[in-house]
Structure 1
């Protein structure tokens, strides 16, 4: 049976730190909370979760409002392992940097479901390479989040090692932002954009370094605690509709996925898929419409893709079909929606009827 796709969520405590950072730079906290779908009281809740796409939208808003492509790098420079609660302490008390990197991958799920980290010691010109695996998305917010993930990982690696080392290189799959001053100052190494993968290479000697906060007794304590939290997280029920949304989002560029394809990706039968979706009050057709609608708004609001490119990414046969579907969802043409979003007037959220609209 193939593995289920990830539930794309992030801890509200992590989102709260991003919001606090943006507020410290003058952006209205209330607007940021509303964009994330959070309350002020949830900002420190490690157990609370919001959609990753909501935090991506916050990041896109922050960078646009501040007119600062370096915002995610400045945020990362202020981050410490202690800010990550148990996930941070189980890493910082390790007895070697190699063990710390392994634990980052194992316990990142306590903070967010989507990124996975892999230590590759075989393919990057003889140097160890920390690779970030994140489901590909095409929005400004997703690109900013990738830069933030890599910078935070490096910041914490430096803290753990007790050495302000420079990577050998840092690579990104997306195109370079217009201003790289903050990136160059923080990473202090060659930066490669539009590369095959996201990550950074570093000197092999760092793998065996003993972290400055190494403590075998505390490490064992936090390891047991983190394992318990990880098991609880894994035991939480995963809604079939959430899993189906992730599958649909990854397959749309190849056209609208059929029930048989989605069921096969989830390791179930079409009949079981339909039954579970019906029990959760939805259908695959509704899910396809919801994913297309949400992704279209993200791309129109945050990205520079043309309408033709967006139609292709969403699996429509042509721009006209996409435009008709989008007008049914939002009451606007795609061009009008983009114009309003770029003009600083946030379009109202879709009504309950529109959220369930299909595109057929």
Structure 2
């Protein structure tokens, strides 16, 4: 996916809203102000445009009167909150294996950043790079990701891991005392070429508490499949939408939200991309239904009622009206003409 179209898991927004609510903010009002459909938060595999999360961050910081909300987000984080990717990490045998999985499946959490592991003799660094131009508030992203990673490693291992150093690729704030407190005892550098969390290399050998290899064997193929879907090109998005409509068209017309979920996109992102390609979702749904209807009408074994059901119409009469709007003919007239031909 091009970086301008990058998305992240709705679990990130859910965590931020939870943290804001714990500090007295109105989560529903924040969602509405950021243009976030609250119903999306209930889908663990749902995606949001990064631009939506970038709108949410400053709104949440203002609503909580906490200018360091990004530095405090990890206090509310639990690995299980991050869905499929979290379960892959929780059942990896060691922290080293978990970090490798994090780097491999990073796009499931957010494909607008890149996480990598750098080895430096007796130390290692978790490096976070920003790859999406939609990230206009880099400090929110870099602070929260590095601290969530540190919290995750501590919870997976059950050890109070202490970072050796922290680099942050944005200018130093006027007051960095809170940065130094949350990353203690590590020294914190600002304005560096990259952002990284340095730890002793020995942490990679620590076992993950309660890791279950059988659950890992179940979860990892699902993560690989989800990653493959996320990395599909968007050049033929209308064709991918048509494909998902056909796949989901089983007794009821698939909604825009259902197709967006299947494509790992937010509903609004899907609408925007379709509009840029000169399409609407309703137009594509009608095209698919019309094409399938004509195929079924050439087959004498399907009645009009059967076809209406197959195409997801609640009543045959609605199908008849729709087909006449599409073709200028009733289904019966179309079938008779097809037989005569």
Task: Indicate whether the TM-score tops 0.5.
Answer: yes
Secondary structure of the structure 2 residue equivalent to 1:151:
helix
> How far apart, CA to CA, are the structure 2 residues paired with 1:239 and 1:193?
41
| Structural mapping, 1:58-97, within 5 Å | 58-97=56-95
Secondary structure of the structure 2 residue equivalent to 1:130:
strand
Q: Which of the residues 213, 216, 219 maps onto 2:216?
A: 219
Deviation string 1:166-203 (CA, Å, 9 cap, x unpaired) is: 11101101123344344333221111111111111110
2:195 corresponding residue in structure 1: 198
The answer to whether the 8 Å contact 2:15/2:76 transfers is no
1:75 shift after superposition:
1.4
Q: Does 1:159 align with 2:155?
A: yes
> How far apart, CA to CA, are the structure 1 residues paired with 2:22 and 2:275?
45
> How far apart, CA to CA, are the structure 2 residues paired with 1:137 and 1:6?
6
> How far apart, CA to CA, are the structure 2 residues paired with 1:235 and 1:20?
31
Secondary structure of the structure 1 residue equivalent to 2:125:
strand
> How far apart, CA to CA, are the structure 1 residues paired with 2:66 and 2:42?
26
> How far apart, CA to CA, are the structure 2 residues paired with 1:162 and 1:220?
23
1:57 shift after superposition:
1.7
| Structural mapping, 1:262-301, within 5 Å | 280-281=277-278
Q: Which of the residues 206, 209, 229 maps onto 1:209?
A: 206
CA 157–208 in structure 1, closer or farther in 2 if over 3 Å, else same: same
The answer to whether the 8 Å contact 2:138/2:170 transfers is no
| Structural mapping, 1:47-196, within 5 Å | 47-122=45-120, 127-135=123-131, 141-188=137-184, 189-196=186-193
> How far apart, CA to CA, are the structure 1 residues paired with 2:274 and 2:94?
46
2:31 corresponding residue in structure 1: 33
From the CA coordinates, give the structure whose radius of gyration is larger.
2
The answer to whether the 8 Å contact 2:50/2:135 transfers is no
2:310 corresponding residue in structure 1: none
1:277 shift after superposition:
10
1:160 shift after superposition:
1.7
Secondary structure of the structure 2 residue equivalent to 1:201:
strand
Deviation string 1:276-301 (CA, Å, 9 cap, x unpaired) is: 9997139xxxxxxxxxxxxxxxxxxx
Secondary structure of the structure 1 residue equivalent to 2:66:
coil
> How far apart, CA to CA, are the structure 2 residues paired with 1:134 and 1:210?
30
Give TM-score, length-normalised by structure 1. Answer: 0.61
CA 228–240 in structure 1, closer or farther in 2 if over 3 Å, else same: closer
1:10 shift after superposition:
1.5
**137-146 or 93-102, larger mean C-alpha shift:** 137-146
Q: Does 1:44 align with 2:38?
A: no
> How far apart, CA to CA, are the structure 2 residues paired with 1:120 and 1:6?
26
CA 113–140 in structure 1, closer or farther in 2 if over 3 Å, else same: closer
The answer to whether the 8 Å contact 1:69/1:177 transfers is no
> How far apart, CA to CA, are the structure 1 residues paired with 2:9 and 2:62?
23
The answer to whether the 8 Å contact 1:131/1:198 transfers is yes
> How far apart, CA to CA, are the structure 1 residues paired with 2:274 and 2:37?
29
> How far apart, CA to CA, are the structure 2 residues paired with 1:199 and 1:174?
12
CA 127–115 in structure 1, closer or farther in 2 if over 3 Å, else same: same
Unaligned runs of 5+ in 2: 239-272, 280-341
> How far apart, CA to CA, are the structure 2 residues paired with 1:190 and 1:111?
28
The answer to whether the 8 Å contact 1:8/1:113 transfers is yes
Secondary structure of the structure 2 residue equivalent to 1:176:
coil
1:74 shift after superposition:
1.5
Unaligned runs of 5+ in 1: 242-275, 283-360
> How far apart, CA to CA, are the structure 2 residues paired with 1:162 and 1:203?
16
